[in-house]
């Protein structure tokens, strides 16, 4: 179980499969270097970033889904721990940012859509909403995608949002974290913080 959560009353959590670029995005948002590895699954416990003097932090939760060299049981345990962490702290979580790889997300979702299977990404999107946490989907690595609008429309379709994606700009944020291109995510986050009367935190997302 994940313990050692800093005593902060407000947080934004970042969730996503292994290797979608969450740690790179965290580095971009905070200016702090996180341990990133070429191997998926380097982050096994939450990285809490409570650098702000305000009662607020960003939390990078471990990647879920396939990880090379990690057994099924351990993988399931990580996912269970993520779910429990979010449930236990839901009242303090202002926003969930689901990070996906724009290049591969549609293939991954479609590959895992069996009769009894809900793909992890789709499941996490609905799970966050079910526990009352607004969600922004940060669609990373968009510099590698040619047909951007088509890809984002397809993603909306898989998430049960009616395309075109542009009407969901508070929910779908195309980014390229490695190049520092994260303005759309910052704008979406700020919109949600404003809705929750947390304008005091907008300065962290400028």
Per-residue pLDDT of 153-186, as tens digits, reads 999 999 999 999 999 999 999 999 999 999 999 9
The answer, yes or no, to whether residue 58 has pLDDT greater than 90, is yes
In a domain, 1, yes or no: no
Cα separation, 178 vs 170, whole angstroms:
22
Name residue, tokens 């202002």: 94
% of the chain residues with pLDDT over 90:
70
Please report the pLDDT score of residue 77 as a whole number.
Answer: 87
The answer, yes or no, to whether residue 119 has pLDDT greater than 70, is yes
Provide the pLDDT confidence category of residue 18 given band limits of 50, 70 and 90. Answer: confident
Per the structure, how many domains does the chain have?
Answer: 1
Secondary structure (DSSP) of 17-41: BTTSSHHHHHHHHHS-PPP--SSTT
In a domain, 156, yes or no: yes
Tokens of 80: 């269970």
Secondary structure (DSSP) of 118-159: --HHHHHHHHHHHTT--EEEEEE-GGG-SSHHHHHHHHHHHT
In a domain, 112, yes or no: yes
The answer, yes or no, to whether residue 49 has pLDDT greater than 70, is yes
Cα separation, 196 vs 149, whole angstroms:
29
Average the pLDDT over 9-16 and give the result.
96
Cα separation, 105 vs 9, whole angstroms:
32
The answer, yes or no, to whether residue 70 has pLDDT greater than 90, is no
**Which CATH number characterizes residue 142's domain?**
3.40.50.300
Across the chain, mean pLDDT equals: 89
pTM value surpassing 0.85: yes
In a domain, 181, yes or no: yes
Q: Which domain holds residue 166?
A: 11-197
In a domain, 206, yes or no: no
């Amino acid at each position: 179980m994940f313990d050692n959560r800093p005593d902060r009353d407000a947080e934004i959590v970042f969730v996503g499969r292994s290797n979608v670029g969450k740690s790179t995005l965290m580095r971009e948002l905070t200016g702090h270097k996180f341990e990133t590895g070429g191997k998926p699954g380097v982050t096994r416990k939450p990285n809490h970033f409570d650098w702000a003097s305000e009662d607020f932090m960003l939390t990078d939760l471990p990647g879920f889904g396939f990880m090379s060299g990690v057994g099924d049981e351990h993988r399931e345990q990580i996912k269970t721990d993520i779910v429990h962490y979010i449930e236990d702290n839901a009242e303090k979580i202002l926003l969930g940012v689901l990070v996906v790889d724009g290049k591969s997300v549609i293939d991954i979702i479609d590959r895992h859509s069996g009769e009894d299977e809900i793909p992890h990404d789709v499941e996490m999107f609905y799970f966050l909403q079910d526990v009352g946490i607004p969600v922004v989907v940060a669609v990373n690595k968009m510099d590698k995608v040619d047909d951007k609008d088509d890809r984002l429309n397809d993603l909306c379709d898989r998430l049960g949002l009616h395309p075109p994606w542009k009407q969901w700009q508070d929910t779908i944020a195309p980014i390229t974290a490695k190049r520092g291109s994260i303005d759309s995510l910052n704008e979406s986050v700020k919109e949600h913080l404003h809705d929750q009367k947390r304008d005091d935190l907008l300065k962290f997302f400028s």
